[in-house]
Structure 1
Amino acid sequence: MNKIILLAALFACAYAAPQRMVLPRLPAKVILNGKYQLIPEDKIVGGSEVVPNSLPFQISLQRRSFGGFSQSCGGSILNENTILDAAHCVDGVTDLTIFRVVAGEHSLSVVSGLEQNRDVSGYLMHPDYDTSTSSNDIALIYLASPLDLSVPSAKAVNMPPPTSEFDPPAGTITTVSGWGTTSSGGSISNVLLSVDVPIVSDSDCNAAYAGVFDPNPIFPSMLCAGGPPGGVDSCQGDSGGPLFTGTGADAVQHGIVSWGIGCAQAAYPGVYTQVSYYLDWIMANRG
């Protein structure tokens, strides 16, 4: 009973204060088992600030709170009407007015004039999204008015090759970006950060999580990146954002930030939704 109360309290805190959200990337059963550490002690999740608007596909998904809108999740521009995101970033939301999508964002506290703020008209989660396993953690967010993609600060991201379940080989260096938490204090970054992380094979990722979950918790539709020596990773608040190769208008998105145990821990790679697995679904449902 105490574990259920704790879980309910954590969900309530995450919803009420999305700028300090601690639940993204963390399956509920890990909280119930008590086998987690939210952010490693004294460990900076080793990103660096990107050149402003050099990742024009990156968006900030923000939620309205008492003080206005605050960073909740990342996301990427699929086209002028649609954002590619994680299902857990929108799951359970019935009041769409709490959401705001900001393209062309860099500093959360400074208005550059390049920002495009858009209301959300709807969203579509994958019909097989499972909160207990975080499988099929993918969603499309539909905008109330189209983005202007003729400007350099807002561009659609490229999808991976149209081959079934394309999986970047282990060791491939990819990049993940976002405004998520950066230290044990759990503060959201004010500016957009990115960090390079190597792809980890599904077999190695399954082995890493074997002591926490049932055997083979990594589905074929998931992608892992990070791991030893640790110190670099996506974290809470980065959920829904892109894992990609290349940069700028040439970037190709391979993953969507989904879940993990803690952040930047050498023993536990970050787990991402594998975009190539869902190309048909994305193309069939994009706005």
Structure 2
Amino acid sequence: MASVVTMKVLIATLVSLAVAVSGENYVIPRLPLSFMLRRGVSLVPESKIVGGDPVNKGDVPWQVSLQRVGSFGNSHFCGGSILDADTILTAAHCTDGETPSRIVVVAGDHILSTEDGDEQVIEVASINENPDYNSRTFENDVCVLKLSSSINLGGNVQAVNLPAPMSDVDAGVMVSVSGWGTTSSGGSLSDVLRSVDVPVVSDDDCRGAYGANDVTDSMICAGDLDNGGVDSCQGDSGGPLYMGSTVIGIVSLGYGCAFAGYPGVYTQVSYFIDFINSV
């Protein structure tokens, strides 16, 4: 027990640190605690969306920015998807410990630092995390936000479609992920919305990377398993993994970002349709 406690303290300390090694910043990977306790803590390069490109305004009309309300302005911290005029889909790890009054949803945004008149800033009425969300393993990492007023849908602001319940996507199929997450060494957010295309990775291959017990059936993995170089990253959490206009995943976790051998792990939306519709 003492050694486990010691490891937990070590992890908690490392989470807040970036270590300079040979001119590169190294950080704690985005992983369930169970994985790090079992395999140890390995720092990974913090260089990242990685392999993606800026999107044109309106290309991902369901993408929203979750922003914390602050005395000196609001700041982006996670992504989300519009399900309807009053409902946002995001990750439970984004909202864990938050209160509705501390968060706003910004729809219609494209460049975070620039206001072009299309942004809609909406207050959050309620945070509804999946009751089975496990912050230790990231299992059931899904949350539904209800808004205090409705988004005006139309033009560059549209709802995304939900997949059929319990449906799967075959390995190798190309899907897309978008967000304002970090793009380079040092962890700076992207000012412009970006997306990247990634192949779906089979559950077996993903479990081979992370461990049989760390990737559940209700998760879906995507990324370049052999070479890395394409992935979502910090700041993309909660945002959509999508195929066409259907959201199939929610950015959840990964070993670093775009790290060869470790694809991104996403909450598989099709496993949570009943929960989503019940809120």
TM-score under structure 1 normalisation? 0.85
State the shift of 1:28 in Å. 3.3
How much does 1:8 deviate?
A: 4.3
The superposition leaves residues 221-256 of structure 1 with CA deviations (integer Å, 9 ceiling, x where unpaired) of 00000022210000011000000011xxxx111000
Which runs of 5 or more structure 2 residues have no equivalent in the other structure?
18-26
The CA distance in 2 between the partners of 1:187 and 1:193, in whole Å, is 14
Gaps of at least 5 residues in structure 1 are 14-21
Moved over 4 A (4+): 1-13, 22-25, 29-34, 41-44
The corresponding residue for 1:122 is: 126
Alignment of 1:139-178 (within 5 A): 139-149=143-153, 151-162=154-165, 165-178=166-179
Q: Deviations over 1:25-79 (max 9, x none)?
A: 43234556653435x3655711100001211100000113453211100000011
The alpha-carbon distance between structure 1 residues 123 and 35, as it changes in their structure 2 partners (threshold 3 A), is same
Structure 1 residues 42-53: aligned runs within 5 Å: 45-53=50-58
User: Which one of the candidate residues 244, 259, 267 is aligned to 2:242?
Assistant: 244
In structure 2, C-alpha distance between the alignment counterparts of 1:28 and 1:200, rounded to whole Å: 22
Q: Output the CA distance in 1 between the equivalents of 2:217 and 2:36.
A: 24
Match of 2:252 in 1: 258
1:154 to partner: Cα distance: 1.0
Residue from 266, 269, 276 that aligns with 1:272 = 266
Give the counterpart letter for 2:147 in structure 1.
L
2:184 corresponds in structure 1 to 183
How many residues end up aligned between the 2 structures? 264
For 2:54, give the aligned amino acid.
Answer: E
Matched, 1:228 2:222: no
Whole-angstrom distance in 2 between the partners of 1:66 and 1:24: 30
| 2: CA distance, partners of 1:2 / 1:71 | 33
Q: Given that residues 37 and 261 in structure 1 are in contact (C-alpha distance below 8 angstroms), is that contact kept between their aligned partners in structure 2?
A: no
Q: 1:219 aligns with which of 216, 220, 225?
A: 216
Residues 161 and 34 of structure 1: CA distance in aligned 2, closer, same or farther (over 3 Å): same
Q: Give 3-state SS (helix, strand or coil) of 2:162's partner.
A: coil
**For residue 207 of structure 1, what is the aligned residue in structure 2?**
208
Residues 119, 204 of structure 1: alpha-carbon distance in 2 compared, 3 angstrom cutoff:
same
Separation of aligned partners in 2, 1:36 and 1:111: 40
Equivalent residue letter for 2:157: A
Q: TM-score, normalised by structure 2?
A: 0.88
**In structure 1, C-alpha distance between the alignment counterparts of 2:72 and 2:43, rounded to whole Å:** 29
1:2 is displaced (CA, Å) by: 6.0
CA distance in 2, matches of 1:119, 1:24: 32
Amino-acid identity (%): 53
Aligned to 1:19: none
Name the SS for the 1:207 alignment partner.
helix
Tell me the CA shift for residue 115 of structure 1.
Answer: 0.3
Residue identity in the other structure for 2:213? N
What is the SS of the residue equivalent to 1:97? helix
CA displacement at 1:216 relative to structure 2: 3.1
State the distance in 2 between where 1:67 and 1:147 align. Answer: 25
Q: Is residue 46–residue 257 contact of structure 2 (8 Å, CA) maintained in 1?
A: no
Could you say what the CA RMSD is over the residues aligned between the two structures, in angstroms?
2.2
Offset of residue 168 of structure 1:
0.4
User: Once the 2 structures are TM-superposed, how far is the Cα of residue 100 of structure 1 from its aligned partner?
Assistant: 1.1
SS at match of 1:112: coil
3-state SS of 1:119 partner: strand
